[in-house]
Amino acid sequence: MGRLCDKMDADLKLVGHSELTRRHYLSHVRRFVKFHMRPPEEMGEAEVRAFLLHLVALHRAQGTLLVYIGALRFLYTVTLGRPEVMATVPWPKDRRRPPEILTVGEVTRVIEAASSPFWRVFLTTAYATGMRREELARLRAGDIDSRAGLIRVQRGKGGKSRAVMLDPGLLTTLRAHWRLHRLPGPWLFPAQAHGAWRDHPVDLAVASAAFRQAADAAGIQQRVTLHGLRHAFATHLLEDGVDLLTIQRLLGHADLKTTAIYAQVRTDRIRATKSPLANLPQP
């Protein structure tokens, strides 16, 4: 299994998958092997279906099932060169609930409730740019193009690069952040241990926990994660009249259908919308 994992990891790198995706795919394949206690080369469609039905019986979330299928599809189609194994395995319907969207006021409360100036700037940057948490964690000082007013996102999801807007207020905040913490570079949000900055980005789990702590302190009741700031970024831009194609480019989505999820209208906007009844003559 060790050699197969190495080959699959190399294939994932060549395709351009992120480190997080590679880690998840390899972990899911190992669970598949452990379930059957047989090498993947000796298994086929029947074993894949049995494993997926096992996950369904365990009531695994819809999104989790999709990742498992993606991992097994990559294993058999790319790494093992046996696409027929997954050819008739169906994708489950995506019944995930639409994301909970924070209002501008709620975003403000979360940022203000951050446990330290470091995390306050981290959360501010997440909302101001719509970057994914792994993109934000890997942000370097050299990615800030102050002359062009852009932030260069290097190797985003799928290995793709893009640019996002650099708000003048965010630039001022990031410069103050750099000076306050005396960061050695190149990372804008490095990990810290024993009072010293490390030469690698902050851990993603630590960043997510910092957001959850701030959300709890702010009294946020919705089931929202750090990714919720990215959802809020996109939704608030849409509500301000920015077109979906521009938002698609800012988010780095390959498919406009993915971006279109933000076309949903928040319930507070629905409540504030005036009924056309008000335009009719009153009896």
Average pLDDT over the chain, rounded to an integer: 88
Residues 195-230: pLDDT tens digits?
Answer: 899 999 999 999 999 999 999 999 998 889 999 999
Cα–Cα separations (whole angstroms), residue 64 to 56, 135, 173: 10, 22, 37
- Inform me whether the pLDDT recorded for 135 exceeds 80: yes
- Which pLDDT value is given to residue 273? 57
User: CATH 1.10.150.130: which residues of the chain?
Assistant: 2-85
Average pLDDT score over residue span 68-93? 92
Average pLDDT score over residue span 21-50? 94
User: CATH 1.10.443.10: which residues of the chain?
Assistant: 104-269
Residue tagged 């299928």 (tokens): 69
- Please give the positions annotated as active site: 132, 157, 227, 230, 253, 262
Q: 3-state class of 7 per DSSP?
A: helix
Average pLDDT score over residue span 65-79? 93
- Residue that wins the pLDDT comparison between 278 and 248: 248
Q: Which CATH architecture has domain 2-85?
A: Orthogonal Bundle (1.10)
The string of DSSP codes covering 224-267 is --TTHHHHHHHHHHHHTT--HHHHHHHHT-SSHHHHGGGGSPPH
CATH number for the domain whose boundaries are 104-269:
1.10.443.10
Spell out where the chain has E strands. Answer: 144-145, 150-153, 162-165, 190-193, 196-201
- Which pLDDT value is given to residue 252? 87
- Inform me whether the pLDDT recorded for 270 exceeds 60: no
- Which pLDDT value is given to residue 32? 96
d(CA 208, CA 225): 7
